[in-house]
Structure 1
């Protein structure tokens, strides 16, 4: 299942949740960069909280350059929260599976997320440019992938 919501102007909730899960789950990455927009900006690997805050505000990773016209504005729409949830039956199966099967289930979920984001990038990864934004150019998506499995850490299905 996929649920979509606007991201507010502050990423602290997401970063704090990811950090909490990092410590609860024994050092798994807080989040990872994904998408051709991220690649173009040389955002690879693990997400640095300061960098994602600057990117969300519309600035380059080091904060030295505006990437969009409304960079730094309070009313800026910083992005979208796409939450991918496996069906309950998959979560139940995961909770009773051995480590090998759990890894396969997780790999299938990860692949489904990447394929879906790839599709969205292909269909929606454009930016308006030029006078009055009449022209479109391929921009790619800058995606922060955060896995939230706190229920799983206790082997409880969602």
Structure 2
């Protein structure tokens, strides 16, 4: 599970990004009631611009150019030396994605809702604590913004068509100040806050899934769902396996080498009808001898939380003493202390990758 950030270095590149985000989904039009829009607006900056609901290309491009999409008023001047925005991507743990893929439709909606709310919690944390703009000669005056303008795009598969819940949150380089004027963002603060945003996302998602009845196993500041065995996670991580095979073939051992292995095995995403993918995933699980309902029932019987397990017949519920969970702020403070030593290093792009599994989770997208 990863929170990563990268800049779109020109308006043209960002427009291409929008086309990719809007089209790069695994299902074609199926008429399903739960089929989502291409994207959705988020953030208090979007609210000020009356941007709600689906993201249109025209509104996206106007915001890229620092223009109010509704009135045509210029908000900020986007120069050639300024990035028009940044893609901050939040990716769920593989066990969460597998649980989503193998669950009944109602439970899929609950898991996906938890993921989206966790993304919103993380971007709201950025908006409230780590978004700054400059004004004055040479940008000498630095001040907090009154909100961010964000377009979110929700995707569900890896490039090898394995389940992989992830959301691209595009943060526009134009934000309202508290006096009503607009300015460009200080990008370094967003990069420095990447780990904290990831911590908020993880903590919110883990707690929400736990409240929804899933048994959660925590490790460090990460987590996984206990009902999904690690060998099942790996079976649904074909992208990861391809990267590992390429690394062995070419002798890659360093983090840079693993990135090269990821690039060597990178494929264009292949559209496929939604229902067919769920059928394929469920058939693969049956071939592996795995039944998600049975696994959740077993976890409910031996686990520690109150569970509402979706199985055929009556729901199974077990109850145990409450756990004391670390708060988001406790996690954030711990991460901030751990990252201070690197905050003065040159360069601002930092990838949040907690372990080998999470690195591969990021590369699968």
Quickly name the TM-score band, shorter chain normalised.
0.7 to 0.9
CA distance in 1, matches of 2:69, 2:103: 40
Task: Specify the alignment match of 1:66 in structure 2.
Answer: 74
Query: Which residue among 99, 103, 109 is the counterpart of 1:97?
Result: 103
CA distance in 1, matches of 2:26, 2:47: 24
Task: Specify the alignment match of 2:263 in structure 1.
Answer: none
CA drift of 1:105 comes to 0.6
CA drift of 1:137 comes to 4.6
CA drift of 1:65 comes to 2.5
Task: Specify the alignment match of 1:19 in structure 2.
Answer: 23
Query: Which residue among 15, 29, 37 is the counterpart of 1:29?
Result: 37
Query: Which residue among 58, 81, 92 is the counterpart of 1:75?
Result: 81
CA distance in 2, matches of 1:87, 1:135: 36
> Structure 1, residues 31-71: CA drift from partner, whole Å, max 9, x if none?
11100011111111111101111111212215732211x33
> Structure 1, residues 101-156: CA drift from partner, whole Å, max 9, x if none?
11111011011000000000011233222344315252310000111124453235
**5+ long unaligned stretches in structure 2:** 164-273, 283-363
Count of aligned pairs: 156
Against the structure 1 CA distance between its residues 94 and 124, is the aligned structure 2 distance closer, same or farther, given a 3 Å change threshold? same
Write out the 4+ residue segments of structure 1 that deviate beyond 6 Å after TM superposition.
none
Task: Specify the alignment match of 2:57 in structure 1.
Answer: 49
CA distance in 1, matches of 2:80, 2:70: 20
CA drift of 1:89 comes to 0.7
| Higher RCO (C-alpha under 8 Å, 6+ residues apart) | 1
Q: Secondary structure at the match of 1:149?
A: strand
Q: Contact between 2:45 and 2:147, CA under 8 Å: does it hold in 1?
A: yes
Q: Point out the structure with max Rg over C-alpha.
A: 2
Against the structure 1 CA distance between its residues 22 and 90, is the aligned structure 2 distance closer, same or farther, given a 3 Å change threshold? closer
Q: Secondary structure at the match of 2:134?
A: strand
Task: Specify the alignment match of 1:147 in structure 2.
Answer: 154
CA distance in 1, matches of 2:27, 2:99: 25
